[in-house]
Amino acid sequence: MRFDVVTLFPDFFSSGLSSGLLGRALVKQIAEVNLVNPRDFTHDKHHRVDDEPYGGGVGMLMKPEPIFAAVESIPVLEKREVILMTPSGETLKQPLLKNLAANYQQLVIICGHYEGVDERVTNLVTREISLGDFVLTCGEIPALTLINGVTRLLPGTVGKEESLKLESFEEDLLDYPQYTRPPEFRGWRVPDVLLSGNHGEIANWRKQQQLDRTQSRRPDLYETWLQDQS
């Protein structure tokens, strides 16, 4: 998978792309990330990438010319999406991550700043994505989230790929609670069933915990799960 990120702040990604499973996946060339700065495509001495919005208003907008030039400088692979990270996009959920990981070779991600981007930039875009119903100071945070979420689904990133099938949201259910040593800590004991060695009872307990936890914490997900069972 190739990620091309159009960003005003390439340094933002230094730590996130070099840490943990994501960093190892890039070293193993399971995925690659290329950072493209729109400032490199400006022609004025100040390398200006923003301007005041027509019609007035608070804040500045990212200009279209540097973004278009940055995206158009990127090699085009056959199966590609050009994504704008924006609060008005579709909400990022696990099925979307799985779709992107399974069906695309290249994701071009445009990171907005200031009050957003000139609307004409959407003519470049094939998909708009949001992390949720809130606003952040920059598009780099959701872009890194997207890269992480897609890369961990690529073959070879996670050592035990079977674990991917047992996580939260894979079946519209939250994950079950998990414990490790010691068996008792400050008066809190690990449930006896997990120490029993009875794998059938453990599986039943975990499933029930998923149902109970999802129903109490995310009733919306629980209702979706119920509908899928009918």
- What is residue 10's predicted lDDT score, i.e. its pLDDT? 97
Question: Which CATH architecture fits 167-229?
Answer: Orthogonal Bundle (1.10)
Asked if pLDDT for residue 163 goes beyond 60, the answer is: no
Asked if pLDDT for residue 171 goes beyond 90, the answer is: no
Asked if pLDDT for residue 168 goes beyond 80, the answer is: no
Task: State phi, psi for 170 to the nearest 5 degrees.
Answer: -70, -30
Global model pTM greater than 0.85: yes
Instruction: With cut-offs at 50, 70 and 90, classify the pLDDT of residue 195.
Output: very high
C-alpha distances in angstroms, 191 versus 183, 205, 206?
9, 10, 11
Asked if pLDDT for residue 33 goes beyond 70, the answer is: yes
CATH topology of domain 2-151: Alpha/beta knot (3.40.1280)
Instruction: With cut-offs at 50, 70 and 90, classify the pLDDT of residue 182.
Output: very high
- What is residue 13's predicted lDDT score, i.e. its pLDDT? 97
Distance between CA atoms of residues 125 and 104, nearest Å:
15
Instruction: With cut-offs at 50, 70 and 90, classify the pLDDT of residue 58.
Output: confident
Sequence spans of domains, the chain? 2-151, 167-229
Containing H/E element for 223?
helix 219-229
Asked if pLDDT for residue 128 goes beyond 80, the answer is: yes
Beta strands in the chain (DSSP E): 2-6, 32-36, 50-51, 61-62, 80-91, 106-111, 127-130, 184-185, 188-189
Residues 6+ apart with CB under 8 A from 186: none
Instruction: With cut-offs at 50, 70 and 90, classify the pLDDT of residue 78.
Output: very high
* Average pLDDT value over all residues in the chain: 93
